[in-house]
Homo-oligomer: A and B are copies of this chain.
Amino acid sequence: MIEMQHKFNGYQCSLCGATYGVEEVSYTCPKDGGNLDVLLDIEALHNLSPKQLILTKEQSLWRFLPLLPVGDPKGYHTPLRVAGSTPVFKPEKLAQELGTGNLWIKDESRNPTASFKDRASAVVVARAREIDAEVIVTASTGNAGAALAGMAAAVGQKAVIFAPRNAPPAKVAQLLVFGAKVLLVDGTYDDAFDLTIQAAEEFGWYCRNTGYNPFTAEGKKTAAFEIWEWALRIASNDEEAHLESAANLLSRLSVFVSVGDGNIISGIHKGFKDLQRLGWIDRMPRLFGVQAEGSAAIANAFLAGAESITPVSASTLADSISVDLPRDGIRAVRAARETNGAYILVSDGEIIASIATLGEVGIFAEPAGATSYAGFLRAIRSGVIGVDDPVLIINTGSGLKDVKAAMEAVSPAPVIEPSLAAVKRVLK
């Protein structure tokens, strides 16, 4: 076993507030099943500056290793070492059309397996290596599984994936090509989720399940760290001198992200909370969760002001955020509530339209990825945010993962005979 570094003090239940030591628990709160927050050893870090803590030579999420509750997973020169550090684009054309001044898109489709989930899986793989786990298992509609399969393959770690039988073929192909053992469960994502937990217990596997394993949010929080670094960079860039300082930019920023089980938005929230505890930021950005109307369990709770999540019978073409029972719903509600953000619902039609809109500026998003942009459009049209507010939208996954949805977003291309006359005809 690699030496445990004890870079964290333990866990705290997000429901009852009970705290646990590093070795006491592995997944959720034994008392009430609540999601556990990893408690960083802030005391040990507090007197250190970003310069002392951030491994700036790393062009990946591992630049934040000192702020993660895991040791160095090694795996140099593998896909594991290039997760994160995704680009932030400035789609001028869309900003102009909307009359907004300050619009940015963080493109998570550029992760190694083409989705945001690589962040979580990379950190869970690091944790698995540290605790000497032989097999990692997860339930997944696709992206989380592909991310686990890819990150595990990168370093020779065994992975087992339970996917619902109706997961898109492109995502299942990725799992299989990465050499994971894949079991297609004849049931829902939730059936696969429960089965995974049973199997992990039965076979001694390490369970990566989203909204269950506390380390997934720790991986996802690195996106918040990158947004913070991006704000520093933008604010110090001469070109962008009309922009405010990083602190001012961050405090006025609205971040839009699609929400399924709730773990991405709570992971991002955790990242900003860590930065606040470290004293590196003052105020957090507003976090906006966007759900499909047909899979709105968390948005429903937010809008009702509820402190519990009522399951729905989910139905949306955005398969990555189609979830009956979100496993990280409470923290996801709080992420918006505690940052003066909100939840926004969008239709499948708006999601499809947003795929085409993002494509026009060179970003190819899967439906769940375009959902955040659709939510931003709603927010700006309804005045929830102002046209001058700086906005960062997160595209969570690549459109190549769901070509069928992409085809719905566009008109088919005309077929022509190979002649100039035919070209002239279709160009009119």
A interface, CB within 8 angstroms of B: 59, 76-80, 82, 87-93, 104, 107, 110, 112-114, 150-156, 163, 165, 169-170, 172-179, 181-187, 191-192, 194-195, 198-199, 202, 239, 355-356, 359-364, 398-401, 403, 406-407, 409-420, 423, 426-427
Minimum CB distance partner of A356 in chain B: B177
Minimum CB distance partner of A152 in chain B: B362
For A87, what are the chain B residues with a Cβ–Cβ distance below 8 Å? Answer: 79, 82
Complex Cα gap A310–B212 (Å): 61
* Residue among B179, B191, B426 making CB contact with A418, cutoff 8 Å: B191
Task: Beyond the given A170-B170, A199-B420, please list 14 additional residue pairs across the A-B interface where CB-CB is below 8 A.
Answer: A80-B362, A82-B110, A110-B110, A153-B360, A173-B399, A173-B406, A174-B364, A174-B399, A177-B359, A181-B427, A183-B426, A195-B423, A400-B400, A400-B401
**Contact indicator B202/A420 (Cβ below 8 Å):** yes
**Contact indicator A78/B362 (Cβ below 8 Å):** yes
Minimum CB distance partner of A408 in chain B: B173
**Contact indicator B88/A418 (Cβ below 8 Å):** no
Q: A153-B361, A185-B418 are in contact. Are A399 and B177 (CB under 8 A)?
A: yes
Complex Cα gap A246–B195 (Å): 52
**Contact indicator B170/A413 (Cβ below 8 Å):** no
A205 CB, nearest partner CB in chain B, Å: 11
For A88, what are the chain B residues with a Cβ–Cβ distance below 8 Å? Answer: 77
Interface centre among A174, A359, A407, A413 (most CB of B within 10 A): A413
**Contact indicator A174/B414 (Cβ below 8 Å):** no
Complex Cα gap A68–B179 (Å): 40
Q: A177-B409, A400-B398 are in contact. Are A418 and B195 (CB under 8 A)?
A: yes
**Contact indicator B186/A417 (Cβ below 8 Å):** yes
For A178, what are the chain B residues with a Cβ–Cβ distance below 8 Å? Answer: 359-360, 362, 364
Complex Cα gap A104–B198 (Å): 39
Query: Nearest 8 A-B pairs (CB), nearest first?
Result: A177-B359, A154-B362, A77-B90, A182-B413, A400-B400, A176-B410, A191-B418, A153-B362
Complex Cα gap A153–B150 (Å): 30
Interface centre among A79, A362, A410 (most CB of B within 10 A): A362
Complex Cα gap A110–B104 (Å): 21
Minimum CB distance partner of A202 in chain B: B420
For A361, what are the chain B residues with a Cβ–Cβ distance below 8 Å? Answer: 78, 153-154
Complex Cα gap A104–B151 (Å): 18
**Contact indicator B114/A89 (Cβ below 8 Å):** no
Complex Cα gap A163–B176 (Å): 30
For A89, what are the chain B residues with a Cβ–Cβ distance below 8 Å? Answer: 77-79, 154
For A156, what are the chain B residues with a Cβ–Cβ distance below 8 Å? Answer: 92-93
* Residue among B174, B183, B202, B403 making CB contact with A170, cutoff 8 Å: B403
Q: A179-B359, A183-B426 are in contact. Are A413 and B202 (CB under 8 A)?
A: no
Minimum CB distance partner of A190 in chain B: B418
Complex Cα gap A165–B175 (Å): 30
* Residue among B79, B187, B407, B409 making CB contact with A169, cutoff 8 Å: B407
Q: A77-B90, A89-B77, A153-B359 are in contact. Are A173 and B416 (CB under 8 A)?
A: no
For A415, what are the chain B residues with a Cβ–Cβ distance below 8 Å? Answer: 165, 184-186
For A186, what are the chain B residues with a Cβ–Cβ distance below 8 Å? Answer: 415-418
For A416, what are the chain B residues with a Cβ–Cβ distance below 8 Å? Answer: 183-186
**Contact indicator A239/B177 (Cβ below 8 Å):** no
A343 CB, nearest partner CB in chain B, Å: 27
Minimum CB distance partner of A355 in chain B: B177
Q: A183-B423, A198-B420 are in contact. Are A407 and B173 (CB under 8 A)?
A: yes
For A154, what are the chain B residues with a Cβ–Cβ distance below 8 Å? Answer: 89, 361-362
**Contact indicator B76/A170 (Cβ below 8 Å):** no
**Contact indicator A172/B413 (Cβ below 8 Å):** yes
Complex Cα gap A427–B416 (Å): 52
A242 CB, nearest partner CB in chain B, Å: 15
Complex Cα gap A151–B415 (Å): 24
Complex Cα gap A256–B403 (Å): 30
Minimum CB distance partner of A154 in chain B: B362
Complex Cα gap A401–B174 (Å): 11
